[in-house]
Amino acid sequence: MSDSAFADLWTRAQEPVVLDGLLQVAAATLLAVAVVALSRWRTLDLESELGIAFVRGFVQIVAMGLLIGVLLTVPLAWSAVILLGMVGGATWISRQRGEGLPGVTRISLLSIGVGAGIVIVLMTWAGAIEATVRSLVPVGSMVIANAMKINGLALDRFREEIDSHRDVIEVGLSLGGPPQAVLAERVRDSVRASLIPVVDSLKSLGWVWIPGIMAGMILAGENPIYAALYQFVIMAMIFAAGGLTSMISSLLLSREVITDAEQLQDIRP
Amino acid sequence: MLSAHQLCRFVDGETIVDTVDFEVEPGDVFVIFGPSGAGKSSLLRLLNRLDEPSSGTVRVRDQDYRDIPPQRLRKQVGMVPQQPTLIDGTVAENVTWGPRLRGEPVDRERVNNLLDRLGLSGFADRQAGDLSGGEAQRVAIARTLYNEPDVVLLDEPASSLDADAARQVETLLSDVMRDLSITAILVTHDTERARRLGSRGIRMEDGRVTRRGSIDDILDT
């Protein structure tokens, strides 16, 4: 990244709108301080945790704002590098849900990479995501983050399914059942359970909650109907990437937990 | 029919099955007798290849079982677990679970014949969840026999039942094995059960064979 990128960022940081933003932060902080004080008065013993979370959230989001400020000036190819980095991070975080499952890191990387990757590439090709860093990075990160959450849920549920149905699985194998047929119900339940949050989000979309992108676009003066349509596109991308990730992850795991001699492996955290 | 050769299984540095040898002839009801924790069930799992031997092997009809595709091997060497572990669905769906998993057609007449033999006439369409412990265990036996195995491995199949149900299951099992000339390997820690059902066998302690021969040979103290 060049010096001009940082010079551009410095110029942006001095714009009057940033000062307005800081004043708004001060107002919001007063409210938060009041809540922390209330917690102290009620001896909830939460003031330290609340205070740290508040400061940490502020630092993280401003750092992200600065980073995006820099990113807006870099060439398009950088977005691929950034998104790949995000896939790596997402793999690292979601794999912890599947501690003890064989090949969990490799499977998570592949599932999130392929699930989110296909959706991002196809939607960029179709024009739903603008082929600019400004659009690719934030929208891509949403798709990847949701694929990560869904992968984590799938790993967690798959391990639980294997643990709680070990006896049935082994009976199926002992009867000469092909492992994939014996594990089909476990895979189905894992995929289904991991997609419950995103399916519920789709069901409640618009009447229980107005998601961030739509709210942000309306606040920024965008046509509300277009904002609604674009929000739906985002939700559909999250659903598609999550569904793909969960299916790939559960299917690969169902192969990995079975040995070459068609035995169910021990899963130890 | 089936023989174990220097069969060993080590788990986390602990010896579970220690250099076990035996041979089962066609028509035998071969008993693996011993106290709890002797390694009997672990040995049975090795025979069905649900676990992998650390060393040694098993021969089925003179063929090393590592050369037999696992699904075919498990059809040839069927296993009835200690707990029936039935799936949700009807009795018939449970009895035919093996072929249905393999995508094979189901023979309803064979289901009814097996259920008749095991004292479960008219049970085919009942829900598995509504069965008593003894009935569920008989369905588990029918499920294994549906595959027409050469050898049936029975892991204390009546141990979780009350005395009456256990005796009923044993009688039916004994009749079916005799009528169908089934070769069986029965794991038990019950002296009387071993005497009633078995012809010969081995006694195991701490994963090792401590005696072998006729039922009297392995049971006498």
pLDDT at residue A194 is higher than 60? yes
- Chain A residues whose CB is inside 8 A of the B12 CB are none
pLDDT at residue A269 is higher than 90? no
Of B71, B79, B81, the CB nearest to A262: B71
Which residues does A166 contact at the CB level (< 8 Å), separation at least 6? Answer: A264
**Dihedral, CA of residue B55, residue B61, residue B63 and residue B64, to nearest 10:** -10
DSSP per-residue letters across A210-226: --HHHHHHHHTT--HHH
pLDDT at residue A191 is higher than 80? yes
Rounded to whole angstroms, the Cα distance separating B11 from B5 reads: 19
Query: Where do the domains of chain B lie, and which CATH numbers do they carry?
Result: 2-211 (3.40.50.300)
Helix (H) or strand (E) holding A72: none
Percentage of chain B exceeding pLDDT 70? 99
Burial status of residue A146 (CB atoms within 10 A of its CB: 0-12, 13-18, 19 or more): buried
- Chain B residues whose CB is inside 8 A of the A165 CB are none
Look up residue A202 and give its amino acid: L
Rounded to whole angstroms, the Cα distance separating A117 from A111 reads: 9
| Long-range CB contacts for residues A100-106, cutoff 8 Å, separation at least 24 | A100/A159, A100/A267, A100/A268, A100/A269, A101/A155, A101/A158, A101/A159, A101/A253, A101/A256, A101/A257, A101/A267, A102/A253, A102/A256, A102/A257, A102/A265, A102/A267, A103/A252, A103/A253, A103/A256, A104/A155, A104/A253
- Chain B residues whose CB is inside 8 A of the A182 CB are 101
Contacting A with CB below 8 Å, chain B residues are 48-52, 66, 70-75, 78-79, 81, 83, 85, 87, 97-98, 101-103, 143-144, 147
The pLDDT assigned to A34 comes to 87
C-beta neighbour count of B15 within 10 angstroms: 15
Of B74, B102, B103, the CB nearest to A174: B74
Task: Specify the residue for token string 């559909």.
Answer: A236
pLDDT at residue A190 is higher than 80? yes
Within 152-181 of A, beta carbons closer than 8 Å to B belong to: 167-168, 170-178, 181
How confident is the model over B125-153, as a mean pLDDT? 92
- Chain A residues whose CB is inside 8 A of the B73 CB are 176
The pLDDT assigned to B221 comes to 64
The pLDDT assigned to A164 comes to 93
How confident is the model over B111-130, as a mean pLDDT? 91
**For residue A145, how far is the Cα from the chain centroid?**
2
pLDDT at residue A35 is higher than 90? no
pLDDT at residue B79 is higher than 60? yes
The pLDDT assigned to B141 comes to 92
- Answer whether A176 sits within 8 Å of B144, measured CB to CB: no
The pLDDT assigned to A98 comes to 86
- Answer whether A176 sits within 8 Å of B97, measured CB to CB: no
3-class secondary-structure state, position A50: helix
Decide: B165 and B133 in contact? Cβ < 8 Å.
Answer: yes
Closest alpha carbon to A238 in A140, A113, A146: A146
Task: Tell me the nearest-neighbour CA distance from B87 into chain A, angstroms.
Answer: 7
Rounded to whole angstroms, the Cα distance separating A128 from A140 reads: 12
DSSP class of B86: P
- Answer whether A178 sits within 8 Å of B49, measured CB to CB: no
- Answer whether A177 sits within 8 Å of B52, measured CB to CB: no
Rounded to whole angstroms, the Cα distance separating B27 from B44 reads: 18
Q: Which of A12-16, A236-240, B34-38, B203-207 has the lowest mean pLDDT?
A: A12-16
- Answer whether A261 sits within 8 Å of B70, measured CB to CB: yes
C-beta neighbour count of A31 within 10 angstroms: 9
Of B50, B66, B78, the CB nearest to A263: B50
Q: How far apart are the first and last CA of chain A?
A: 42
pLDDT, mean over chain B: 90
Q: Does A99 touch chain B (CB under 8 A)?
A: no
- Answer whether A181 sits within 8 Å of B51, measured CB to CB: no
Which residues does A171 contact at the CB level (< 8 Å), separation at least 6? Answer: B81, B85, B97
Tokens describing residue A228: 């609604």
Rounded to whole angstroms, the Cα distance separating B24 from B152 reads: 11
Bridge-based pairing of strands B2-11 and B55-60 is antiparallel
Decide: A167 and A182 in contact? Cβ < 8 Å.
Answer: no
Closest alpha carbon to A119 in A91, A89, A147: A147
Of B79, B87, B102, the CB nearest to A174: B79
- Chain A residues whose CB is inside 8 A of the B143 CB are 175
- Best probe of the B interface among A175, A180, A258, by most B CBs < 10 A, is A175
Q: What is the pLDDT of residues A115-166, one digit of tens each?
A: 999 999 999 998 888 888 888 988 899 999 999 999 999 999 999 999 999 9
- Chain A residues whose CB is inside 8 A of the B129 CB are none
pLDDT at residue A66 is higher than 60? yes
